[in-house]
Homo-oligomer: A and B are copies of this chain.
């Protein structure tokens, strides 16, 4: 065991895009687990669009990361030493352990995972928060029904790839919106979406008219901004707009662009609803089981974008999300 634990801490609150100097790279001594706790070595760290919101000092569904605190992140660690009755060396555990090489935990909020069933990264993706977010957002908030037309933005991302494939598994017509021909080809090819719209090259509004001729029943929004407006303009009667995120707005230094077309909600008798996946924690097990079943049947394909590096690569890797450089779930895998 090395003598030091490398950590990435928040040094300053970013305005707009996160800059390298907003982070502090620090080495601290590795902690001893102590009574009732276990120590673990980080194997793989999750990178999520929501992280940008955690850096702002404003009321949200979680308190902001404090200045000087280790950056909050989900990760999978391998237990190296334990005084905790439930964890033994060699166990893999998923939890919100932060961006650091070594962790110590009393097991609260942690969950043992079976790396024989799926690699550690998948517990941060399809079987982790993004998978849960897609599942409950689509089926509970979106109240998806068989045969409906579903449009997913950020469709090539961690949540979008799963949301679109769940909608397909449920018998829906699925249109994905993503940036660039490579992602779009993957959506309609490998992932079986019915259509894909490249928002960088196409007029999204016109493309939605073509691919959702009878209107959108469920719009699963990960991006906000102009794409949300284009979708609002094409809602079917009694449509549901699921607000999962708004990555196009997270780095704004100016106020968020509100959806100009929100009065479509009135004309189309539609609703727009937000959610936070943590509210469904009691049902994660059931959802993970169903998603694992679809993965086993080949109906849901797991897309992961693995960057191999050290925790020092976290800041630069995070930027990939906002530049749209990842395909599927973005993770940082430590040596």
Contacts and interface: CB of A to CB of B under 8 A. Distances in A.
Interface of A: 59-61, 224, 229, 243-246, 249, 255-276, 279
B258 A229 contact: yes
Contacts of A60: 267
Contacts of A260: 255-258
B270 A246 contact: no
A273 B274 contact: no
Chain copies in the assembly? Answer: 2
Contacts of A257: 258, 260
A266 B276 contact: yes
A265 B279 contact: no
Contacts of A267: 59-61, 274, 276
A272 B275 contact: no
12 contacts: A229-B258, A243-B265, A244-B266, A256-B263, A259-B262, A262-B262, A262-B272, A265-B273, A265-B274, A267-B276, A271-B274, A272-B272
A250 B265 CA distance: 16
Contact of A262 (B59, B258, B263): B258
Contacts of A269: 274-276, 279
A256 B262 contact: yes
B258 A265 contact: no
A270 B243 CA distance: 10
A270 to B, nearest CB: 6
B276 A273 contact: no
Q: What 8 pairs across the A-B complex have the smallest Cβ distances?
A: A258-B258, A266-B274, A265-B274, A271-B273, A258-B260, A258-B259, A272-B272, A255-B260
Given A60-B267, A224-B263, A258-B260, 17 more contacts: A61-B266, A243-B262, A243-B266, A244-B266, A245-B266, A249-B263, A255-B260, A256-B261, A257-B258, A258-B258, A258-B259, A264-B274, A265-B272, A265-B273, A269-B274, A270-B273, A271-B273
Contacts of A224: 263
A226 to B, nearest CB: 11
Nearest to A244: B266
Nearest to A254: B260
B246 A263 contact: yes
A9 B243 CA distance: 43
A274 B262 CA distance: 9
Given A268-B274, A269-B274, A261 B263 contact: no
Nearest to A246: B263
A273 B268 CA distance: 10
A261 to B, nearest CB: 7
Contacts of A245: 266
